[in-house]
Structure 1
Amino acid sequence: MELIRIIISVLIPPIGAFLKVGLSLQFFINLLLTICGYFPGLVHVIWLLARKK
């Protein structure tokens, strides 16, 4: 499941954020960052995936 989450996160960062945190503030932050540009959303979702929780 983790490999699929990583692949989806690279292709569509908001979906990867949703799979990790659900409909939380972090998802909406990622959505906004992705709308502003693909790269900021990608960096944010990588941070979400790497973070231990």
Structure 2
Amino acid sequence: MASATEIALLRIAQSAVSNVVRHAAAGTVDVTLSYLGDQVALAVQLPAVTGSGS
């Protein structure tokens, strides 16, 4: 069975991706889970936007 931390990370990631789908005009989202010793970092980011800026 998953630990409370694993469940919390899953729910946070689901909520963040849901918010991107709902509120951002983005076709992709980057989700990164990193282990830093005894800590875990969850990053949810939109890719950098490049363009002419017209």
- TM-score interval for Structure 1 and Structure 2 normalised by the shorter chain: 0.3 to 0.5
**Between structures 1 and 2, the one with greater helix share:** 1
TM normalised by structure 2 equals 0.34
Larger strand proportion, structure 1 or 2? 2
Larger radius of gyration: 2
Q: Which has the higher contact order (CA 8 A, sep 6+)?
A: 1
Provide TM-score, normalisation by structure 1: 0.35
